[in-house]
Amino acid sequence: MANLKEIRGRITSISSTMQITSAMKMVSASKLKRAQDAIVMLRPYSEKLQEIIQNVNSSSDPDQTSVFAQKRDVKRVLFIPVTSNKGLAGAFNSSIVKELTAQLSRRGGVEVEVLTVGKKVYDAVRRSANIYDNQSTILDHISFDAVAATAETVMRDFREGRFDEVYLIYNRFVNAATQIVQTEKLLPISLPETDKKETETDYIFEPDRNEIIENLIPKSIKTQVYKALLDSIASEHGARMTAMHKATDNAQALKNELVIYYNKARQAAITNEILEIVSGAEALKNS
């Protein structure tokens, strides 16, 4: 049986851990609200932009296909996994690394490069994968301009033929307790074939429709990347808040068990001392 001093030390240590996990939970909860508001506000814009592209594309010249929609023989693929720069978020980071590893294992015979966003995924794959670039610092101060610059680089390399397909891997935010790992094709974009009879509408385009769609598609791609990062940030705070809540509860349960164990040990020590005193008194009486 451990001595009382050791048990008191463990109780004190667990109490300190509880204070840390509880504080981290509250910090993540406050950050989650801002991150959740950001992604909720961006999603309708992204969806409307996709809708506009589809409507304009249905009226455009079918012989003039955007370079970002051209399908090629897949020989070179770029993956963009998004994690966080910090840990203590449950399975948030490991689920992305696991999905990336599974995707890489299914791409036999294809040249694969990885653009990492987040230190956790970079540290996990930097020795086993061909790193195209590491943009972990973009998460420190997230902004559309910084994301757009990275997206433009990827779009340029796709246009020049360095990659035939580009995929995003990120956690899609549902709520604080639920994040879904999403593997989403970024390039080439999918322009659905629509029925001309259903979409015949008298539009007036200024400038011409093909120029409009060529301007909208790059903006849509940048918005898609930005949305993935906002989704990931909101998911990170939700996952960390949930993980710290569970850690605090587990620490409290362990502390309660140790307090009971301490009280039993203390009672046993007191009983032993009483027995020794009584035994000593009896021995003196008999002598």
Per-residue tens of pLDDT for the chain, all 287 residues: 568 888 889 999 999 999 999 999 999 999 998 999 999 899 888 888 887 777 776 655 555 567 888 888 889 999 999 999 998 898 999 999 999 999 998 887 889 999 999 999 999 999 888 999 999 999 988 999 999 999 999 999 999 989 999 999 999 999 888 999 999 999 888 765 555 445 455 566 677 777 777 788 889 899 999 999 999 999 999 999 999 999 999 999 999 999 998 888 888 888 888 888 888 877 777 76
What's the chain's Rg over C-alpha atoms? 29
pLDDT, residue 154, reads: 94
pLDDT, residue 273, reads: 83
pLDDT, residue 201, reads: 54
pLDDT, residue 136, reads: 92
pLDDT, residue 80, reads: 95
CA distance 5 to 224: 57
Determine the distance from the C-alpha atom of residue 145 to the mean position of all C-alpha atoms in its chain, rounded to a whole number: 21
- 219 vs 4, 135, 227, CA distance in Å? 66, 20, 12
**Residue 61: how many CA atoms within 13 Å on its side-chain side?**
10
pLDDT, residue 111, reads: 92
User: Residue 67 contacts by C-beta under 8 Å, 6 or more apart in sequence?
Assistant: 159
Evaluate whether 19 touches 247 at the Cβ level (below 8 Å): no
Evaluate whether 96 touches 82 at the Cβ level (below 8 Å): yes
User: Residue 224 contacts by C-beta under 8 Å, 6 or more apart in sequence?
Assistant: 46, 168, 184, 186
CA distance 135 to 232: 14
Tokens of 107: 């791409």
User: Residue 141 contacts by C-beta under 8 Å, 6 or more apart in sequence?
Assistant: none
Nearest to 169 by CA among 74, 104, 85: 104
- Full set of structural domains in the chain with CATH: 22-191+201-242 (3.40.1380.10)
User: Residue 158 contacts by C-beta under 8 Å, 6 or more apart in sequence?
Assistant: 68, 78, 164, 166, 187, 188
pLDDT, residue 211, reads: 76
Cis peptide before 62 (omega within 30 of 0): no
pLDDT, residue 193, reads: 58
CA distance 183 to 103: 9
